Structure 1
Amino acid sequence: MKSPLVWKTLKISPALLGLSLFVTSNAYAAVPNQTATNESTVKLNNPLSEMSVEIDSLQIASDVSPGLSPTNTTADPNRELLEQIQRYSGENNTESLDQVTSVGQLRDVSPGDWAYEALRSLVERYGCIAGYPDGTYRGNRALTRYEFAAGLNSCLQQIERLMVGDTPDGTELETLRRLIQEFEAELATLGARVDNLEGRVAFLEDNQFSTTTKLRGEVIFNLGSAFGDEKADNSGEDIEDNITLSHRTRLNFDTSFTGEDRLRVRLQAGNTPEFDEATGTEMARLGFEAASNNDVEVNDLYYRFPLGDNIRLLVGANGFDFNDIAEIHNPILESSGTGALNRFNRRNPFVFRNNAEQGVGANIQFSDFLSLDLAYLTGESNSPADKDGLFDGDFTAISQLNLALGEKLDLGFAFGYSYYPGEDVNLSGSTGSPRAKEPFGEIATSALRFGIQGSWRLTPTINLAGWGGYIDAEAEAGAREGDNADLWTWVANVSFLDLGKEGAALSIMGGMPPKLTNVDGGDEDEDTSFLIEAQYQYPITDNILITPGAYVILNPNHDDGNDNIWVGTIRTTFSF
């Protein structure tokens, strides 16, 4: 009769064979993140004998721990390598594996799965399979070579536990050698496949754009025109209503030096029409303007990096505003390339349009449900002239508290303070009436900013969003020093998702552009403008989106004496 050791070994062999077959069937899907190093050998030493199980041709990538580098030489490299694998399998992070004792603990594995019986055997009989902390197995996910090493190590440790207390004789050793030979063919096949993958990865790395920088691009072709009678600027001129064909082109270079930071450099060129000049009101501006006459310019430049686990800092040197820092809470319509067609409908102008170009900011994550956005922003910090610079020119200090009420409702509460020394006063973010832009003219002005914005996924295919804003402005110099004024704005929108096609969206939105009221010693906006937009986002492919739509401005510039103005457009967005 066989000794207990042989029987225990024979009992474990199906677990090892099953693991090897599982790894072989998934080897093609696992591509290492960086170039693999030279071949290594892993040995498992039985503490009760001189027997060793040797696995050849197992290559370990060097992208996790410096201890796995080929330059690391120690007195016992095989033992250190095994310790590295054991440490990897026990790492305490969100993707670490937890041993399960029943296949029923894996919520994404069902009896109807083709590998269910194999998994049940490996889990319940041999204890060689682990799941993720969220209770899933992720059987269709690509298997990394580290995960293979950790799983194989677990099975080998199981053999060691069964062998404790038994001393193998010659017959048992022969049985073990025969089992080792059965694995040689599987591991040789795995090694050949990994070698092939390494060659392909090496080719891609040799021909890639950059090891640290990703290039993303967006091109917009736009066919559009404004319609109506007279301009809204009391000039008596007719609206410039010729049909236009224009473009906006962006190239984003996103660079990471540590894997957790990002340096954004955006190049932009375009020739989209300035509908505010064509219609006499800034309410008519497009949400994707790029009126640079095709000159290439640096449109966005900032660097963000983590400070600990819950804080992220940002520094912006050009084209930097609060929307680069804070959550906008308008997920379907906030993007300039794929969101609202009108500038006003994209985001709350009292919070996210502060006439800024440079600044610093921070995101603080208190929990999964509570976060805080902070920023100090300036418009002319690059200029050393009087009433310019980082602290002597216009500035905005602003914050937003974000609440995530479950998975469907998000809210943001914003408060800020702005000061303009008399030049480039712009309280409306160039989305409202001329009076709302400069309540007291070109004199020093301060403003307390308040805003609330939110998004609610009412059903899986219906999303509601909107915002409201208020500014308390005060004149800080001249004959009107001490005068106060109030500014108001609001928007509401609804989007019907996957309408007609997966990824499509029909959106309807409307609101009141920034309006000036209750002005001390000056004129206010006596009437009320309303801006209504309807659009349909239709994806042709994953990279081409066509958005036909139109918007109308009722009582432009908050003056019911002005004729209504219409803007129609067909925007085609190419992303790559």
Structure 2
Amino acid sequence: MSIPSSIGQVTSVDQLSDVQPTDWAYQALQSLVERYGCIVGYPDQTYRGNRALSRYEFAAGLNACLDRISELIAASTANFATQEDLATLQRLQEEFAAELTALRGRVDTLEARTAELEANQFSTTTKLEGETIFGLIGVAAGDSADGEDAPRNPTFGYRVRLNLQTSFTGEDLLTTRLQASNVEPLGGTNSGVLGTNEGRIEFDGDSENEVNLALLRYVFPVGENTNIYLAGTGNGFVDLDASSQLTPYLDGTAVSLFALRNPIYNYSGGTGFGLRHFFGDVVELNLGYLVPDAGDPSPGRGLFNGKYGALGQVIVYPSDSIRLGFTYINSYSPTEADFGLATGSNLANSDFDRPVVTNSYGISGTIDITDWLAIGGWVGYSHHRYIGRGDGDVWTWAGSLSFPDLGGEGNIGGLFVGMEPRLARIDSSVNDGEADPDTSLHIEAFYRYRLTDNIDITPGVIWLTAPNHNAENDDVIIGVVRTRFFF
């Protein structure tokens, strides 16, 4: 059944979905429709006969009847209305003259405001969205990966994003993201003040205050259950909608990069394509292929001749409160490419000067226990083949407790514990068989407080035991305060 865009004329009382022949007023409504044709319904084709009627609504209905009677009189069909009917309507018209005048004035005002908005709108096809983050970050205690005291220099940085969301058909979406930032990461593989990717902040990254094209993606439907993704640049598997639904209370809320999602999604990114298909409401299939150098025709680069990551994933929804994903990612990285997971130990992120083929397997999910409590987590295993040298095994896991609407609607608290990627085993032919000697735990607590509809603030603490999976290093404590402005 189609739904009109505004209150419309009813030609049959049967068009009103909430009016039944057994209703006490059915005959009266039928008579008004058949004799005068002046009954109007709401946009959803209901009459709402049991609700209170405002004087403005009565005036609008009366005006419709008057217009219809005028048409009948003009067509020489005035015999349909008796003199008594006309006298009653004339009296009602005089009584509601003020309301009718006010109603016409309100309609004129709305038309003027609509015309002004149309004349000054940003675009008929594009919506502008923005986000600005100010972040205060500091290392309070602990050692870097080399066993030296980590510098205790607090920093204050920012990240700005402007998203142009464009739709050409109403069902597709082209996302163009401009971004600038100056948040120097605390660590990287053998770099940064921590000397390891463990403990990285979720919004870090330094563009040296230059504005860059950070994301370009086009999504369009093919049938009712399938979306196709064309990834232009800056995409990760999360941008193909492959992971955010599995960790909805962490992605974009936690303060560390590790706590957002299973790290195996980080093995590749950039340009490519993806597919998301729903088998009813219970099963979802995700496919994706991403490369960082798709636009470079040089040997060892391009769309199919360089570093890549290919994803296949099935997500099941046994109920409205449970989502569980089973993920496989195959990736390849030549020695000159940037290899690694962006989180975890230096050994887990090292290619040992060899091309690396990776096969990764993951299980991720979230269960809503109540409206105010959810549990989630993941397990990830990656088999690294260092071509010509040998093999290694990398493991990661995490668990979380989330508290939606804690202390008010839109707030969220979280407790998180996990093991960032760790090289658990490696062949003796690679790195003399030396894997990570110990196990480091990543423990995190955060609370996002919604100040207004467009501002929130998130204090958080990250505690790393045995940094870089080395028990000889003192535990690291990192404090974060993230303030976000968005529209």
Q: TM-score range by the shorter chain?
A: 0.7 to 0.9
1:402-417 → structure 2 map (5 Å cutoff)? 402-417=315-330
Aligned equivalents of 1:536 and 1:259: distance in 2? Answer: 36
CA distance in 2, matches of 1:379, 1:171: 76
Q: Which position in structure 2 is the counterpart of 1:495? A: 402
Does the CA contact (< 8 Å) of 1:363 and 1:374 recur in 2? yes
Q: CA RMSD in A?
A: 3.6
Moved more, 215-224 or 121-130: 121-130
1:334 aligns with 2:251: yes
User: 2:218 aligned with 1:218, yes or no?
Assistant: no
Kept in 1, the 8 Å contact 2:143–2:467? The answer is no
Match of 2:33 in 1: none
Deviation at 1:199?
1.1
2:376 paired with 1:465: yes
Unaligned 5+ segments in structure 1 are 1-31, 34-59, 62-80, 91-96, 105-119, 157-167
Q: Deviations over 1:112-166 (max 9, x none)?
A: xxxxxxxx766796478689799x99989xxxx9xx99xx99xx9xxxxxxxxxx
> Which consecutive segments of 4 or more residues in structure 1 shift more than 4 A?
101-104, 120-125, 127-134, 136-140, 171-192
Give CA-to-partner distance per residue, 1:55-91, whole Å, 9 cap, x none.
xxxxx89xxxxxxxxxxxxxxxxxxx98xx889x99x
CA distance in 2, matches of 1:282, 1:551: 13
Instruction: Give the number of the structure whose residues are more often strand, by fraction.
Output: 2
Query: In the TM superposition, what are the counterparts of 1:367-382 in structure 2 within 5 Å?
Result: 367-382=280-295
| One-letter amino acid of the counterpart of residue 435, structure 2 | E
Aligned to 2:302: 389
TM-score, normalised via structure 1 length:
0.69
| SS in structure 2 at match of 1:279 | coil
Alpha-carbon distance, 1:502 to partner: 2.6
- Say if 2:419 is the partner of 1:504: no
Amino acid across the alignment from 2:186: F
Task: Determine if the alignment matches structure 1 residue 432 to structure 2 residue 344.
Answer: yes
Letter of the 2:331 partner, please give it. Answer: S
Q: 1:313 aligns with which of 219, 228, 241?
A: 228
Give distance in 1, aligned partners of 2:334 and 2:399: 33
Structure 2 CA distance for partners of 1:98 and 1:305, relative to 1, 3 Å: farther
Which residue number in structure 2 is paired with residue 241 of structure 1? 152
CA contact (8 A) 1:321 1:359 kept: no
How far the C-alpha of 1:426 sits from its partner, in A, is: 2.6
Aligned residue runs from structure 1 range 5-404, under 5 A: 99-101=17-19, 126=29, 170=79, 172-174=81-83, 190-232=103-145, 234=146, 237-276=148-187, 277-325=192-240, 326-328=242-244, 329-335=246-252, 339-350=253-264, 352-404=265-317
Partner of 2:258: helix, strand, or coil? coil
Alpha-carbon distance in structure 2 between the residues aligned to 1:419 and 1:279: 27
> Which has a greater percent of helix?
1
Question: Does 2:371 match 1:456?
Answer: no
SS in 1 for 2:281: coil
Is 2:434 the partner of 1:519? no
Change (3 A) 1:244 1:187: same
One-letter identity of the residue aligned with 1:200: R
Cα offset for 1:381?
1.0
The residue matched to 2:327 in structure 1 has which SS? strand
Q: What's the % identity of the aligned pairs?
A: 35
1-structure distance, mates of 2:27, 2:205: 63
Equivalent position to 2:464, from 553, 558, 572: 553
Separation in 1, partners of 2:195, 2:409: 39
Partner of 1:566: 477
Change (3 A) 1:180 1:532: same
Rounded Cα–Cα distance in structure 2 between residues aligned with 1:500 and 1:347 = 25
SS in 2 for 1:200: helix
Q: TM-score, normalised by structure 2?
A: 0.81
Deviations 1:363-418 (A, max 9, x none): 11221222111111112112111111000011111122121222211111111211
Q: Count residues with an aligned counterpart.
A: 443
Structure 1 residues 86 and 564: alpha-carbon distance in aligned structure 2, compared to 1, 3 A threshold? farther
Letter in structure 2 aligned against 1:341 = V
| Helix, strand or coil at the partner of 1:196 | helix
> Compared with structure 1, are the counterparts of its residues 121 and 474 closer, same or farther at alpha carbon in structure 2 (3 Å cutoff)?
farther
